[in-house]
Structure 1
Amino acid sequence: MTTTTTTPPSRSKGRLLDWKLLIGIAAVGALATLSLLTGVYDVFGADDGGEMFAITRIPRTIALILAGAAMAMSGLVMQLLTQNRFVEPTTTGTTEWAGLGLLTVMILVPGASIGTRMFGAVLAAFAGTMVFFLLLRRVTLRSSLIVPIIGIMLGAVVSAVSTFLALQTDMLQNLGVWFAGSFTSVLRGQYELLWIVALVAAVVFAVADRLTVAGLGEEVSTNVGLDYNRIILLGTGLIAVATGVVTVVVGNLPFLGLIVPNVVSMFRGDDLRGNLPWVCLLGIGTVMVCDLIGRTVIMPFEVPVSLILGVVGAAVFILLLLRQRRRG
C-alpha cells in the first residue's frame, strides 16, 4: 500500500446529526422534487400521467439516490483502505471488471435474468479489486500518483478484453449502452436491485471503525487485535457489490467516488463514520444535478450522466493532482 497526506481527523469532531446535515438533507430533498417534476412527458396534464409518474419518474429518482450514494461510498471506502486520495472504482479497474463479468454472463447465458447478470458483475468486480490490491502489495511505490495510474492501466487492459469479446460475439453495441451511464432506461421493475446498496451502506456504517483502523495499515491493525486481511476482504466485497449492482442497473458513473470523498474530507477530515452521511448526500446531489443538466440541456433529448460526470470529474482530478504536487 502507499500513503498520502491526509487531513487530521480532529476536524470532523462533533455530532453526527447537526443543523448543517439537516440543511444538506433538505437540499437533496429539493433536488429530488425537481427531478420528479422534470421531463418531456406531461405527467400532470395527460390522462395516464399518474401511471407514467409511477412507472418512470419515481423509479428514476430513487435510482439516482441509490446509485449516487453507492458510488460515492465505494470511493470513500477504497480510498481509506488504500490510503490514497486518487482511487475509486473507475480509476482502479473495478468498473471495467464488473462490465467484463456482465458481458461474460450475457455471452454464456443469453437469456440471463438481471439477478444472474448482477451476480456475474459483482463476482468479477470482487476478483478485479483483489487483483488491484495484490498488485499494490507487490509493487514498490514511491508516489501516491502511481496508484491510480496502475488502476487505469489495469482497467484499460480489461476494457480491451471486453471490447474484443463484444466484437467477436456481435455485442459491441450492448457494451456501449451498458457503459453509457444513463438513467433513461430506469423503469419500475428494473431498478429494484439497487436497494441492495442501501444494505451495503448500513454494513459500511456498522463496521466503519474497523475499516478506519484497517486504513492505518496492517501493522497497526494487528497491534490492536484486528484481522487485517479479513477486513480488507470485507471492504473489497462491499465495494464489489455496490459497483456491480450500479453497473448492471445504470452503467458507468466515472469519477463520482473520486470527487465526493475528497471534497468532504477537505472540510471534515478523515473520520469514516462521521463523513459517510455527508459523502452519500453529496454523491446523491452531484448525480442529481448532472442528471438534471443532461435532461434539460438539449431537451427533448438527453445527455448521458456519465458524459457530464466525466467532464467535471476529470477537471477535479487534475486539480487534486496539482494540489498534491504543491504539497510535495
Structure 2
Amino acid sequence: MKNFIITAFIIFLSIISIFLGVATVNLSDIFVQGTNSNNIIFLSRIPRTISIITAGFGMSICGLIMQQLTMNKFVSPTTAGTADSSKLGILIALLFFPRESIIFKMLIASAFTMGGTFLFLGIIRKIKIKDNALVPLIGMMISGILSSITMFFAYKGDLIQSINSWLFGDFSGVLKGNYELLYITIPLVLIAFFYSKQFTISGMGEEFATNLGINYKTIVNIGLILVCFISSLVMITVGGIPFLGLIIPNIVSLFFGDNLSKNLYITGALGGLFLLLCDILGRVVIYPHEIPIGMITGVFGSGIFLAMIFRRLNFEE
C-alpha cells in the first residue's frame, strides 16, 4: 500500500513538473508535431522530469547500499568522498581527454569514484574507535581534500567554470539528447534488487554473512561498484546532489525498519519524490528565475544531517 501511495504522489508531482514553467503551453497543441507546445513538453519538460526521478531513485539506493554495507547510518556518497572523487575524475577527463565521448569520461569518473570510496573504507577500517558520528566526518574531510585538489588543478587548467557546473545539481539544462546516459542506472538498479537479500545479510557483519554461505567481500565489492557507477552517471549528467543518499534511507529506516530487500523500492521512490519536490520548490520560490536543485537539497539535507548527529549524541548521553 505504501509503495502505491508514494508512486501516486510521484505521478501527481510529475504532472505538475511537466506543466510548470515560464513558457506557456497550449494543451490543444501538445500532440501536434512541430508546435512550440509540443517541443517544450517533449524536448524539455518530460526529459527533465524523467531525469529527476531517475537521479533521485538511483542516488537514494546508493545511500541505502552504502549504509547497509558499512553498518553506519551516516554514510552516503556525500559523506564518504564518493561525489568529490567523481568530480576529480571528471576534471582528469576534461584535462587529458577533452575530445573523448561522454561514456569514456563517465568510465574515468567511475574509476576515480571507486578509488575514493575504497580509500574511505580503508581508512575507517584502520580506526579503532568507530563512532557513528565520527565516520562520516572522516569522509567529509576526505571530500574536502579531494575538492581542494580538484579546484587547484581546475584553476591551473582554466576549467573552474566547467567544474563549478558540477558543484550543484541543476536540471534546467536537461533536454532530449543530453540526459539519456541516466538510463544506464536502470539495469544497475535492477542488479541492486537482485542482490538485495545478500546486501541485507552482509550488512549484519562479515562473520554472520560467511556463516550463512555469503561471499562477504564479493558482495561488498558488487555493492560499492554499483554505487560508484550510479553516482558517476548522475554526477556527469546533472551534477552533484548533496545529502540525498543520506537523508532518504534514514527516513525510510526510521519508519519501516532496516531490511534492505524490503525497503529498496520505497527508498528509491521516496528519493525521486523528494527530488521532484525540491525541483518544483526551486522553480517557484523566485519565479520566473530558478534555484539549482543541488542548493535546495543541500539546505534541507545539511539541516537534517545535523539533526541526526545531535539526535545520536543525545541518545548516547
Name the structure 1 match of 2:242.
Answer: 254
The 1:142–1:96 alpha-carbon spacing in structure 2 relative to 1, beyond 3 Å, is closer
Matches within 5 A, 1:221-300: 221-300=209-288
Confirm or deny: 8 A CA contact 1:179 1:247 kept in the other structure. Answer: no
Cα distance in 1 for residues equivalent to 2:89 and 2:253: 32
- State the 1:123 CA deviation: 1.2
Cα distance in 1 for residues equivalent to 2:248 and 2:2: 17
From 39, 51, 59, the equivalent of 2:47 is 59
Confirm or deny: 8 A CA contact 1:86 1:145 kept in the other structure. Answer: yes
TM-score normalised by the chain length of structure 1: 0.92
Is 2:113 aligned against 1:131? no
Name the structure 1 match of 2:144.
Answer: 156
- Residue 178 of structure 1 aligns to a residue whose secondary structure is coil
Name the structure 2 match of 1:310.
Answer: 298
Q: Which runs of 5+ in 1 are unaligned?
A: 1-18
Name the structure 2 match of 1:98.
Answer: 86
User: Structure 2: which amino acid aligns with 1:74?
Assistant: C
- Residue 53 of structure 2 aligns to a residue whose secondary structure is helix
TM-score normalised by the chain length of structure 2: 0.95
CA RMSD of aligned residues (A): 1.2
The 1:43–1:115 alpha-carbon spacing in structure 2 relative to 1, beyond 3 Å, is farther
After superposition, what is the alpha-carbon deviation per residue over 1:191-235, rounded to whole angstroms, capped at 9, x for unaligned?
111011111111111101111111111111221221111111101
- State the 1:142 CA deviation: 4.1
Is 2:63 aligned against 1:75? yes
Name the structure 2 match of 1:117.
Answer: 105
Further displaced range: 86-95 or 213-222: 213-222
Cα distance in 2 for residues equivalent to 1:199 and 1:120: 20
From 4, 11, 22, the equivalent of 1:29 is 11
Confirm or deny: 8 A CA contact 1:80 1:215 kept in the other structure. Answer: yes
After superposition, what is the alpha-carbon deviation per residue over 1:128-184, rounded to whole angstroms, capped at 9, x for unaligned?
111111112111124111100110000111001100110000000111112221001
Is 2:188 aligned against 1:206? no
Is 2:25 aligned against 1:43? yes
Confirm or deny: 8 A CA contact 1:107 1:169 kept in the other structure. Answer: yes
The 1:261–1:315 alpha-carbon spacing in structure 2 relative to 1, beyond 3 Å, is same
Identity of aligned residues (%): 37
Name the structure 2 match of 1:173.
Answer: 161
After superposition, what is the alpha-carbon deviation per residue over 1:56-89, rounded to whole angstroms, capped at 9, x for unaligned?
0011000001000011110000000110011100
Is 2:98 aligned against 1:88? no
Cα distance in 2 for residues equivalent to 1:52 and 1:112: 30
Cα distance in 1 for residues equivalent to 2:25 and 2:101: 31
Cα distance in 2 for residues equivalent to 1:87 and 1:20: 26
Matches within 5 A, 1:140-151: 140-151=128-139
- State the 1:295 CA deviation: 1.0
Is 2:220 aligned against 1:193? no
User: Structure 2: which amino acid aligns with 1:255?
Assistant: F
Cα distance in 2 for residues equivalent to 1:265 and 1:153: 26
- Residue 165 of structure 2 aligns to a residue whose secondary structure is helix
Name the structure 2 match of 1:12.
Answer: none
User: Structure 1: which amino acid aligns with 2:183?
Assistant: W
How many positions carry a matched residue from both structures? 310
Cα distance in 1 for residues equivalent to 2:251 and 2:230: 21
Cα distance in 1 for residues equivalent to 2:75 and 2:244: 11
Cα distance in 2 for residues equivalent to 1:213 and 1:126: 23
Cα distance in 1 for residues equivalent to 2:85 and 2:144: 10
